[in-house]
């Protein structure tokens, strides 16, 4: 018996992040034999610490909600700050979303979060192996094969009836299939780090994410339970090209451009190294094929501004588990089920994209931050509640918000036309940045 025959499973999963561990756990619960290969060893660093309220039902389904509660910081709202509009700050409380049943989410250290998800899938019977890097895959035929190398460089072969790529930004299958496309509508990059002694909000607002618009993009502040704060700047390419100092210095300098952040960071110190992620928006033009599926960041990633990455990864994994289980049951590719899966994943991503592409535009700033008396009008409150539903991760599933969201988008258009010159100049700038090398 060779390696591939010995290591044969119903399902092979590449990657042990939120997407991979979720799909592996759920398929194991359905009685499938599942093997998951992770190149790193948990706990390992990962960026992406702010979860959405709609993550909670998924965590509950996985049976890890109590564990996440133990390591997480409760986040009741997303706070937006702008120096560009009349109102400098507005806080969007999740309790005011159209579905008020999930009034908070969590901020988590990903090393801890991903480790508990990984252990959970092992407890559910998944053969989850760390320190095993997938180097090649064979997609032809009914048995899919994977070549991998362990930490000592020893080769291993695995095989399965179904292969799932959850390898995140490494995009193992999309690279192999040559299907990875840079997103032509969005080209920003991020620099970030963890800081100690950053001033926090008080009371129930302590765990809120703070987002600041500034002239070169936007900045996040995510408070973590152990006292550290994750801080990152998402910037236009032209600004990042001006860097002529070490990354940590450049990050510090960029943060100091915003007076309130400078104040909140008066006593702050960088804990560990500053990091950068360039050109992060991409999508594969293939989501599935005969006996394989791409989920989470292995399929697409747009932008972290609405903290949607982990939610989208786990949601696509949850839907993917149902799909793969049914396909394995029937033993034939079922076109309807596959297109239903693909449409739902694309629609969820699209729901965030509308806001992401316009996030830095003056028209959206004005709409999101409008504080005048008219903002208290019940109709405007309804629109705000729809926007909060998007921020909570409930954009796709909640039919109640479709109409208010359409009205919001219409208002956006009117705002854009009302200040045509300003918005047109911004659009020109954005296009030029998207074309930058």
Cα(207)–Cα(132) distance, rounded to whole angstroms?
A: 36
Return the H-helix or E-strand segment holding 269. strand 269-277
Nearer to ligand FAD, 280 or 426 (CB): 280
**DSSP conformational letter for 273:** E
Nearer to ligand FAD, 18 or 362 (CB): 18
Rg (Cα) of the chain, in Å, rounded? 22
Closest approach, Cβ 304 to ligand FAD, in A, equals 3
Nearer to ligand FAD, 301 or 412 (CB): 301
332-339, long-range: CB < 8 A, 24+ apart: 333/290, 333/291, 338/288
How many of the other CB atoms lie within 10 Å of CB of 381? 13
Nearer to ligand FAD, 169 or 428 (CB): 169
Binding site for ligand FAD (CB under 6 A): 14-20, 37-40, 46-51, 133-134, 166-170, 172, 190, 192, 232, 277, 280, 296-298, 301, 304, 307-311, 313
Nearer to ligand FAD, 76 or 311 (CB): 311
Nearer to ligand FAD, 39 or 358 (CB): 39
Query: If DSSP codes are grouped into helix, strand and coil, which group holds residue 154?
Result: coil
Closest approach, Cβ 366 to ligand FAD, in A, equals 25
Closest approach, Cβ 377 to ligand FAD, in A, equals 32
Give the HSE-up count for residue 369: Cα atoms under 13 Å, Cβ half-sphere. Answer: 22
Closest approach, Cβ 3 to ligand FAD, in A, equals 17
Give the tokens for residue 61: 């389904």
Closest approach, Cβ 362 to ligand FAD, in A, equals 24
Closest approach, Cβ 332 to ligand FAD, in A, equals 28
- Tell the burial category of 120 from Cβ atoms under 10 Å away from its Cβ (0-12, 13-18, 19+): buried
- DSSP secondary structure string for all residues of 175-227: HHHT-EEE-TT---EEEEEEEES-----GGGTT-EEEEEETTEEEEEEE-TTS
Find out whether 132 and 37 touch, Cβ atoms under 8 Å. Answer: yes
Query: Taking Cα atoms as reference points, which of 222, 311, 235, 321 lies closest to residue 264?
Result: 222
Query: Taking Cα atoms as reference points, which of 23, 25, 71, 28 lies closest to residue 51?
Result: 71
Closest approach, Cβ 86 to ligand FAD, in A, equals 28
* CA-based torsion, 30, 292, 345, 175: positive or negative: positive
Nearer to ligand FAD, 17 or 103 (CB): 17
Nearer to ligand FAD, 200 or 422 (CB): 200
Q: Which residues, 6+ apart, have CB-to-CB distance to 407 below 8 Å?
A: 379, 383
Matching residue, tokens 């044969």: 8
Closest approach, Cβ 254 to ligand FAD, in A, equals 14
Cα(23)–Cα(437) distance, rounded to whole angstroms?
A: 36
Nearer to ligand FAD, 6 or 169 (CB): 169
Nearer to ligand FAD, 222 or 265 (CB): 222
Nearer to ligand FAD, 157 or 170 (CB): 170
Helix axes 18-29, 309-330, angle to 10 degrees: 30
Find out whether 126 and 139 touch, Cβ atoms under 8 Å. Answer: no
Closest approach, Cβ 94 to ligand FAD, in A, equals 15
Query: Taking Cα atoms as reference points, which of 397, 401, 391 lies closest to residue 356?
Result: 391
Closest approach, Cβ 250 to ligand FAD, in A, equals 15
Closest approach, Cβ 118 to ligand FAD, in A, equals 9
């Amino acid at each position: 018996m060779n390696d591939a025959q010995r290591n044969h499973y119903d399902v092979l999963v590449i990657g042990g992040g939120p997407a991979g561990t979720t799909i592996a756990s759920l398929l194991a619960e359905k009685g499938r034999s599942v093997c998951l290969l992770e190149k790193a060893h948990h706990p390992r660093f990962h960026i992406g610490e702010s979860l959405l309220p709609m993550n909670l039902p998924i965590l509950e389904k996985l049976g890890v909600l109590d564990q996440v509660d133990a390591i997480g910081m409760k986040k009741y709202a997303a706070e937006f700050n702008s120096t560009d509009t009349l109102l400098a700050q507005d806080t969007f409380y999740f309790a005011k979303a159209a579905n008020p049943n999930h009034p908070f989410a969590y901020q988590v250290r990903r090393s801890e979060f991903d480790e508990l998800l990984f252990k959970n899938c092992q407890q559910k019977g998944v053969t989850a192996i760390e320190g095993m890097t997938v180097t090649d895959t064979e997609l032809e035929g009914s048995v899919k094969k994977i070549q991998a190398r362990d930490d000592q460089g020893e080769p291993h072969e695995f095989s399965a009836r179904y292969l799932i790529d959850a390898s995140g930004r490494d995009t193992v299958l999309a690279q192999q299939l040559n299907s990875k496309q840079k997103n032509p509508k969005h080209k920003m990059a991020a620099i970030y780090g963890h800081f100690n002694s950053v001033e926090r909000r008080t009371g129930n607002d302590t765990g809120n994410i703070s987002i600041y618009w500034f002239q070169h993009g936007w900045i996040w502040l995510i408070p973590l339970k152990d006292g550290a704060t994750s801080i990152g700047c998402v910037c236009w390419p032209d600004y990042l090209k001006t860097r002529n100092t070490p990354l940590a210095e450049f990050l510090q300098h960029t943060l100091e451009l915003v007076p309130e952040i400078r104040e909140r960071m008066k006593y702050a110190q960088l804990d560990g190294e500053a990091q950068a992620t360039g050109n992060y928006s991409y999508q594969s033009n293939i989501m599935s094929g005969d006996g394989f599926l791409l989920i989470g960041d292995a399929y697409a990633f747009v932008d972290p501004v609405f903290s949607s990455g982990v939610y989208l990864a786990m949601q696509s994994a949850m839907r993917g588990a149902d799909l793969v289980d049914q396909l394995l049951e029937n033993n034939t590719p079922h076109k309807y089920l596959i297109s239903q899966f693909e449409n739902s994943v694309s629609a969820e991503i699209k729901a965030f994209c509308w806001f992401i592409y316009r996030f830095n535009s003056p028209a959206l700033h004005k709409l999101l931050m409008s504080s005048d008396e008219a903002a208290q009008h019940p109709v405007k409150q309804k629109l705000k509640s729809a926007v909060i539903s998007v921020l909570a991760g409930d954009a796709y599933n909640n039919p109640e918000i479709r109409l208010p969201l359409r009205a919001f988008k219409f208002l956006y258009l009117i705002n854009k036309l009302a200040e045509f010159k300003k918005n047109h100049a911004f659009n020109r700038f954005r296009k030029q940045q998207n074309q930058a090398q």
